[in-house]
Structure 1
Amino acid sequence: MTVWPVQHAKARFSELLDACQREGPQVVSRRGTEAAVLVPIEQWHRLQAAARPSLKQLLLASDARSEELVLARGGGRRRPVVEL
């Protein structure tokens, strides 16, 4: 990955974008510290899909968290009964 100082990234954004599409992720640094990464959109979509499991994966997971989904009962307030 190539590291671009923020001043160069701003001044040569088109080059940064072309390098990202041609070579892959590009790092932008601010004051010598890595601050951000520009990634191609295809890679971004793959990362997003991998980070979000499907419903099927959640249901088939061995560490199912069903006990956390059940709400405690009796904690709500009841409305007063109005006599007709």
Structure 2
Amino acid sequence: MQSWPVQDAKARFSEFLDRCLDQGPQMVTRRGLPAAVLVPVTEWQRLQAQAGPSLKQLLLTDEVRGELILPTRGRARRRVIHAQE
């Protein structure tokens, strides 16, 4: 994967995009650190199709979540803390 400083990616965006489409994902760096990746739309769609629902989507869903398998509660009890005098 080729790496592009953000100023080069901005100044030569057309070339940046062409390289992405021809050679695959292109990394953008800011101050020498990875900041973002430009990927072809087909790759993005493939990644989105493989991804499961996010935690937010799971929590906001209308479906019943009663089928979740929860571990059984252990026999541990809360410890009693006595006030010091």
Partner of 1:44: 44
> Does residue 16 of structure 2 align to residue 16 of structure 1?
yes
Corresponding letter in the other structure for 1:18? D
Q: Once the two structures are aligned, what percentage of the paired residues are identical?
A: 61
Q: Which has the higher helix share?
A: 1
CA distance in 1, matches of 2:41, 2:68: 37
When the two structures are aligned, how many residues end up with a matched partner? Answer: 58
TM-score (norm 2): 0.63
The secondary structure found in structure 2 opposite 1:66 is coil
Shift of the 35–45 alpha-carbon distance from structure 1 to 2, 3 Å rule, reads same
Gaps in structure 1 of 5+ consecutive residues? 54-64, 69-84
4+ long deviations beyond 3 Å:
none
Gaps in structure 2 of 5+ consecutive residues? 54-65, 70-85
TM-score (norm 1): 0.64
CA distance in 2, matches of 1:66, 1:44: 31
